[in-house]
A = this chain, B = another copy of it.
Amino acid sequence: MATAEESLRKCLSEKLSAVEIQSNTVRSLKSSSAPKPDIDAAVQALNALKLEKSSIEKSLESLLSASGSNSRKAFRKSVVNTLKRRFFYNSSFQIYGGEAGFFDYGPPGSAVKYNVLSFWRQHFMLEEKMLEVDCPCVTPEVVLKASGHVEKFTDLMVKDEKTGTCYRADHLLKDYCNQKLQEDLTLSSEKAAELKHVLAMLDGFSSQELGAKIKEYGITAPETKNPLSDPYPFNLMFQTSIGPSGSARGFMRPETAQGIFVNFRDLYHYNRDKLPFAAAQIGQAFRNEISPRQGLLRTREFTLAEIEHFVDPEDKSHPKYAKVADLEFFMFSREEQMSGQSAKKIRLGEAVSKGIVNNETLGYFIGRVYLFLTRLSIDKDRLRFRQHLANEMAHYAADCWDAEIECSYGWIECVGIADRSAYDLLAHSEKSGVPLVAHEKFSEPKEVEKLVITPIKKELGLAFKGSQKMVVEALEAMREKEALDMKAALESKGEVEFEVCTLGKTVTINKSMVSIHTEKKKEHQRVFTPSVIEPSFGIGRIIYCLFEHTFYTRQSEAGDEQLNVFRFPSLVAPIKCTVFPLVKNQEFEEVANLISESLTAAGIWHMIDITGTSIGKRYARTDELGVPFAITVDSTTSVTIRERDCKDQVRVDVENVATVIREVTEGQRTWEDLLKLSGVLTACASQPAASDSVSSAEFEKIMG
C-alpha cells in the first residue's frame, strides 16, 4: 500500500506544479494579448492537466479511504447504534448530560459481561485450581508508592494556555498526523513518510520529544486554536482520603494485581508453601483519563481479570505445556516488527523452542488465552500476539506479549501476558519490610560457598571519620559480582575506587579496609523471590471486540430492510432463547408460561415476547439481541425451535423444550444433531407437523 500511496503522492505533486506552470503560461499569453489560437491551445493543455490532476486526486482519495477509516467508521456506527438502541451499553449519567469515560451496561450487556467472566473463571481458575482473592478498590498510598504507581502512572498532558482546558499530548499529535495523511492530498511523499514514522514511534516519545513535535507542527488547542503549554505528566489515579481526618491519602486502584502481591505470604501459605501456584482477581480498576475516547476501549472505570502465576525463576517449565504446544496462530515477534515484516502464523511450540517466547509457562498462558478468546468467538484471523519491543517493556520484565484484536479502531491490546520476574514482590518486600519469598527445602543439607564481606571498621573510621557508617553500609550491600571484582582489584592493585551512593561520591578503598572471602556453609533450604507471570485481561475491550466480530446484517424476508444480527455463541449470548406465542391467544400464552417456568427451573436465561407483532418482526428483534434460539408456540403439544443464523427450525414436544435448549446451549448436543434427528422445517410451521416432531420416547433414547 505504502508504495502505491507514495507514487500517487509524487505524481500528484508533479501534476500540481505542471498545472501551476501552465496557468502562468495562459496568464502571460492573455496579458501579452497573444493570438487567440495560441491562447486556446494553452487553455486546452491546462484543462487536460487539471483533468489528470483530479483523476490522480480521486485515486489517492479512494486509496486512503480503502486502507483508511471511512468504511470502518460506517461499520462501527451501525454496530454502536444497535448496541446503544438495545441498551447493551450506554454513556453513564445520561439524564445529567453524561460524564466522559463512564459507561453503564444495560440488561443484555451485563449478561454478556457476566457470561464472559463466568467462562473466564471456568477456563482459567477452575482449570488451574487458581486461588481467588477479592480486595478493596480503595487503596492506601503506601501500597501504590511501593508499586511505583504514585510516581509513574502518568500520561503527558498539555493545557490550552488561555482557557486551561487539558489535552493528552500524544492524542493531539496523533490526530494531527492522521488528519494530514488522510485529508491533505498535496502532502509530499517525504512529508507523508515522516508523519507515518511519527505515528509509529509516538508511544515511546519523551515529554521533550512530544513538546518539540507539537511546536514544530504548530499544533494548537483544537477548539480555540490557542497556544498550548509544554507537556507535563498527570497522574491518572483517582485520589481520595481515607477516614475522617482527611490526612490519609488513598487512591482507587489502577489495577487489581497489587491485591494479590500484598497477599503473597498468605496465599503461599494457603497453597501449603508450594510453588508454582496462581492467584486471580476479578474487579473494578480506575484510571482518570485526561480525555477519554474510543467508547468502551478507553474508560475511566473498567473491569479487569488478572492472574499472577508465581514460579521458581530457575524452573519456568509448565506441566500442561504439551496441551497447547501444537496450537498455531498469528504471532508478531519483536524481530518481525523491527524488520518491518507482518505477523506470521506459527506453531506455539516452535516459538517457544526457538526462544521467541521466553519460557514454557509464558507460552502456556499465551496458548490458553488464544483458546479463551476464540471460544468466545473472537475471529482468529483478526487476533495476533504481539511481542513488546525492548523500549516498550519495563526494565525488569523478561518478556511480554499482548493479545491484540483488530476492530474498527485498529489493533487493540486486550490481554497483556508478561513475565514480570521478581519485580513486584521485591518492591513490596522492600517497602514493607516483610519478606515475600518462597523456600525450597533440600532433601539433605547442601554445602555452599558463601561470600563474606567484612569491613574493617577501625581502618575505615580512621580514613573516613564521620562518613565511616555510610562506607561500611555500602560495602556490606555489594552484590556478589561487585564484591568479587573488588576482591580481584585489591589483590592485584592494592586499592580500588568505590562509589558510595549515600555520600554522592567515590572513595578509595585499600586492602586493609575490607576483607572479602568465601566460606563454606551448610544450608537446609534455598530462599528466593518467585518470578511472576501475569496474564491481565481488559474485559470491556474484549467485549467490545466481541460485539464487532459477531455483528452482521442481512436482508429481511421481504427484502425491504437490512436487519442486524449478533452471531453470539450460546456461551456468550445474553439470553439463550425467546418464547413467542405465534398468535395472541390465551392457550398459547399458557403454554409459553409453562415453558418459561421449565426454562427457569433448568437455569436458562430467556425472555417471553407476547406482543401481537408479526413473528418476522419478533424474530428480527431477538436476532438483534443475539439470542441463539427462538421457541414459537404454535400448538399446545409441540413447538418449533428456530436457530438464529441458519434460520432452520425443528419441532419439539413441549415437555422436552427445556432439556433440548439446555443441551444445545451447554454444548452436549449441536444444532446439527437436532436437525438430523427431527428433519428440517424450512417454512414457518403455522400448523403442528406431527410427523417431524421429536417424541418424548425418542428423546429418552437420545438422552440415554
Contact = CB atoms under 8 A, between A and B. Distances in A.
Interface in A88-135: 90, 92-96, 99-100, 102-107, 109-111, 113-114, 121-122, 126-127, 129, 131-135
Nearest to A260: B104
26 contacts: A87-B266, A87-B270, A92-B135, A92-B136, A92-B259, A93-B143, A93-B262, A95-B432, A96-B262, A96-B432, A102-B138, A104-B134, A105-B133, A106-B267, A106-B270, A107-B133, A110-B133, A113-B134, A126-B605, A129-B607, A138-B252, A138-B300, A238-B241, A238-B242, A240-B252, A283-B284
A127 B242 contact: no
A361 B622 CA distance: 30
Nearest to A666: B603
A244 interface: yes
B107 A270 contact: yes
A55 interface: no
A353 interface: no
Interface in A123-161: 126-127, 129, 131-140, 142-143, 157
A290 to B, nearest CB: 5
Given A122-B603, A129-B608, A137-B301, 4 more contacts: A126-B603, A126-B605, A129-B607, A136-B300
Contact of A102 (B95, B129, B136, B157): B136
A359 interface: no
Interface in A476-496: none
A263 interface: yes
B301 A138 contact: yes
A611 interface: yes
User: What is the total number of copies of this protein in its complex?
Assistant: 2
B107 A132 contact: yes
A234 interface: yes
A164 interface: yes
Contacts of A436: 95
A32 interface: no
Contacts of A600: 126-127
A140 B99 contact: yes
A240 B102 CA distance: 15
Interface string A267-310: 10110100000000001101010110000000011000000000
B239 A99 contact: no
Interface string A404-417: 00000000000000
Contacts of A104: 133-136, 259, 263
Given A238-B240, A603-B126, A140 B265 contact: no
Most central of A100, A244, A283, A290 by chain B CB within 10 Å: A244
A37 interface: no
A500 B603 CA distance: 58
A605 B110 CA distance: 24
Interface size range of chain A in the complex: 35 or more
Q: Taking chain A's interface residues, is the majority helix, strand, or loop, or is none over half, making it mixed?
A: mixed
Contacts of A140: 93, 96, 99
B95 A262 contact: yes
A137 B284 contact: yes
A395 to B, nearest CB: 24
A166 interface: yes
Contacts of A242: 99, 238, 288, 300
A386 interface: no
A164 B501 CA distance: 39
A164 B243 CA distance: 13
Contacts of A122: 603
A434 interface: yes
B138 A245 contact: no
A428 interface: yes
A106 B605 CA distance: 30
B266 A106 contact: yes
Contacts of A291: 244
Contact of A106 (B87, B131, B143): B131
A265 B106 CA distance: 12
A187 B266 CA distance: 47
Contacts of A110: 132-134
B157 A132 contact: no
A245 B90 contact: no
Contacts of A300: 136, 138, 242
Contacts of A121: 114
A322 to B, nearest CB: 15
Nearest to A121: B114
A622 to B, nearest CB: 13
Contacts of A99: 140, 242
B126 A286 contact: no
A286 B250 CA distance: 13
B244 A290 contact: yes
The list of the 10 closest CB pairs from A to B, nearest first, reads A110-B132, A105-B134, A166-B244, A95-B432, A107-B131, A95-B434, A136-B301, A110-B134, A104-B135, A238-B240
B106 A263 contact: yes
A300 B87 CA distance: 32
Contacts of A262: 92-96
A252 B239 CA distance: 11
Contacts of A107: 131-133, 267, 270
Interface in A393-430: 428
Contacts of A102: 136, 138
A245 B94 contact: no
Contacts of A96: 140, 142-143, 262, 431-432
